[in-house]
């Protein structure tokens, strides 16, 4: 199974957000349910008390004893309900009866003008929760009246502190959910880190083995997708190096008849970097070594899907067979790397790896009007990339000494109607026979 780390890491904030959302939803639903239950209980007591009271007796009552007798039954109801206080007021909101003790009686009944007006039209009305130093309370109101109008108002006070206990419990539950989710996210992060670390350690060991000359080091490509991509590139590199070394060994055996290292180097260059004359996506390409003394110079031509890359370069000066071997390896690595990776991202590491002294690269796509050209700067160890348009003149890139480079420019301007292969041949004829270097000429097939 192949896994992308960004997909796994996205699960952590997703879990956290989902936990907070579920906790908030549970809090809201349960809080509203409990509030609705308290409101229904207080309202039912207020409405029942008001409906069982005779409006005429209320109007006729004058003394405190009359109010005590009138409210005897409703007060008994409070003994088995959570309501803790019942109050009777006249329509002008003057207090007629209060079942509470002195401390509760000091608390003002929150009957607003808006609620008072509603009692003339509806059988009940309830207020919002009121909170003071004694706790939180919910109030319900109901009118006592008949066709002659409102005789009194019944108010019922209910203890709402259970809402506070509910809120505290819900906060603890949400905190527990968030903590558990964070722990799960941390475990996932540790798991992902362990998977990546093991794969990187394995890849590092395989790279050390390749550096020691063991090129047959295939690396497993299952698991994390990013490491899988790196493993595929590593396997490509190992395969290319193994093939180059195998060819080199065969060439050494076949070239035993050569007496000197220079003879062997020239034979290797001619064998493994033969001239190229071909057309790629409407662009004719010709690539050759200028002479048999070009053992440290290389050219590369590679095709990928609808894109083409051509390059010339020179590796650092070495002796004997090492110089053409390094040049051949650099060309092979550049070709294979370009097929599987972004060229600009890989070129600088490639240039430092092979101690490249000079390199020019050109890439283009099918039917494109533009091409990309890269030039290696040995002093800074980096490439400079520019985009330009195709013109009627062929494009020439080379590793020939600057003293004779102006001859090539003049020759191209004078004989720009020749095909790339003809132009390459003429350029080589104008140079000294022992002049080292590599030349690549590219021009649109319809323009040459």
pLDDT digits (tens, 9 = 90+) for 245-261: 667 666 666 655 555 65
Mean pLDDT of 187-203: 75
Q: In this predicted model, which residue has the larger pLDDT, 151 or 162?
A: 151
Handedness of CA 405, 407, 409, 415 (dihedral sign): negative
Asked if pLDDT for residue 179 goes beyond 50, the answer is: yes
Q: Output the domain CATH number for residue 379.
A: 3.60.40.10
* Burial state string for 236-253 with b = 16 or more CB within 10 A and e = fewer than 16: bbbebbeebeebbeebee
Asked if pLDDT for residue 218 goes beyond 80, the answer is: no
Mean pLDDT of 154-176: 75
DSSP string, 194-254: HHHHHHHHHHHHHHHHHHTT---------EEHHHHHHHHHHHHHHHHHHHHHHHHHHHHHH
| Alpha carbon distance 12, 2 (integer Å) | 19
Q: Is residue 358 part of a domain?
A: yes
Which residue in this structure is represented by tokens 């060994």? 249
Confidence class of residue 310 from pLDDT cuts 50, 70 and 90?
very high
> Does 293 share its domain with 437?
yes
Single residue among 122, 143, 164 that ends a domain in this structure: 164
> Does 159 share its domain with 280?
no
Range of the domain at 9: 2-164
> Does 290 share its domain with 428?
yes
Q: Is residue 413 part of a domain?
A: yes
Q: Is residue 322 part of a domain?
A: yes
Single residue among 164, 180, 203 that ends a domain in this structure: 164
Single residue among 164, 179, 202 that ends a domain in this structure: 164
Number of structural domains the chain divides into: 2
Q: At what angle do helices 322-340 and 225-254 cross, to 10 degrees?
A: 150
Give percent of the chain with pLDDT exceeding 90: 4
Q: What's the pLDDT score for residue 403?
A: 72
Q: Is residue 234 part of a domain?
A: no
Q: Output the domain CATH number for residue 103.
A: 3.30.450.20
Asked if pLDDT for residue 2 goes beyond 70, the answer is: no
Q: What's the pLDDT score for residue 437?
A: 85
Q: Is residue 214 part of a domain?
A: no
* Residues sharing a CB contact under 8 Å with residue 419, sequence separation 6 or more, in sequence order: 284, 286, 443, 448
| Alpha carbon distance 51, 67 (integer Å) | 16
Q: Is residue 151 part of a domain?
A: yes
Q: Is residue 296 part of a domain?
A: yes
pLDDT digits (tens, 9 = 90+) for 6-60: 555 556 677 667 767 776 777 777 777 777 777 787 788 888 888 888 888 888 8
pLDDT digits (tens, 9 = 90+) for 73-118: 776 666 545 556 788 888 887 888 888 766 555 567 777 777 777 7
Residue 116: other Cβ atoms inside 10 A: 18
> Does 11 share its domain with 136?
yes
Residue pair 348/381 in contact (Cβ under 8 Å)? The answer is yes
Confidence class of residue 408 from pLDDT cuts 50, 70 and 90?
confident
SS3 177: helix
Q: What's the pLDDT score for residue 317?
A: 61
CA end-to-end distance (rounded Å), the chain: 52
Q: Is residue 160 part of a domain?
A: yes
**Closest among 176, 134, 169, 172 to 31, alpha carbons compared:** 169
Asked if pLDDT for residue 395 goes beyond 60, the answer is: yes
Mean pLDDT of 116-130: 67
Sheet strands (E) in 64-164: 83-89, 95-98, 125-126, 130-132, 135-146, 149-159
pTM above 0.85, yes or no: no
């Amino acid at each position: 199974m192949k896994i992308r780390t960004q997909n796994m890491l996205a699960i952590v904030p997703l879990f956290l957000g989902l936990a907070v959302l579920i906790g908030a939803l549970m809090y809201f639903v349960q809080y509203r349910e409990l509030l609705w239950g308290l409101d229904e209980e207080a309202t039912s007591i207020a409405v029942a008390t008001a409906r069982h009271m005779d409006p005429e007796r209320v109007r006729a009552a004058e003394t405190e004893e009359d109010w005590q007798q009138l409210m005897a039954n409703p007060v008994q109801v409070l003994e088995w309900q959570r309501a803790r206080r019942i109050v009777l007021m006249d329509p002008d909101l003057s207090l007629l009866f209060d079942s509470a003790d002195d401390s509760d009686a000091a608390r003002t009944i929150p009957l607003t003008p808006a609620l008072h007006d509603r009692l003339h039209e509806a059988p009940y009305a309830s207020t919002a929760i009121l909170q003071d130093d004694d706790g939180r309370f919910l109030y319900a109101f109901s009118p006592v009246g008949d066709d002659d109008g409102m005789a009194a108002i019944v108010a019922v006070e209910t203890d709402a502190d259970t809402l506070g206990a509910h809120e505290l419990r819900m906060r603890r539950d949400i905190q527990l959910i968030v903590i558990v989710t964070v722990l799960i996210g941390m475990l996932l992060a540790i798991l992902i880190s362990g998977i990546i670390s093991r794969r990187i350690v394995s890849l590092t060991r395989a790279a050390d083995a390749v550096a020691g000359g063991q090129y047959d080091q295939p690396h497993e490509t299952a698991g994390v997708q990013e490491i899988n991509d790196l493993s595929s590139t590593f396997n490509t590199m190992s395969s290319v190096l193994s093939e180059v070394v195998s060819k080199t060994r065969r060439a050494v055996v076949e070239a035993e008849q050569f007496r000197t290292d220079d003879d062997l180097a020239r034979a290797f260059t001619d064998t493994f970097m033969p001239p190229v004359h071909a057309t790629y996506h409407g662009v004719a390409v010709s690539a050759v070594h200028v002479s048999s003394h070009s053992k440290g110079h290389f050219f590369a031509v590679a095709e990928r899907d609808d894109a083409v890359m051509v390059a010339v370069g020179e590796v650092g000066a070495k002796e004997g067979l090492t110089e053409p071997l390094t040049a051949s390896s650099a060309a092979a690595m550049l070709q294979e790397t370009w097929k599987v990776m972004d060229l600009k991202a890989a070129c600088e590491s490639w240039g430092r790896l092979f101690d490249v002294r000079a390199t020019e690269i050109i890439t283009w796509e099918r039917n494109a009007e533009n091409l990309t050209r890269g030039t290696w700067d040995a002093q800074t160890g980096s490439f400079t990339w520019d985009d330009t348009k195709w013109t009627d003149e062929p494009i020439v890139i080379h590793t020939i000494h600057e003293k004779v480079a102006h001859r090539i420019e003049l020759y191209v301007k004078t004989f720009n109607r020749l095909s790339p292969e003809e132009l390459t041949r003429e350029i080589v004829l104008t140079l000294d026979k022992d002049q080292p270097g590599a030349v690549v000429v590219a021009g649109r097939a319809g323009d040459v």
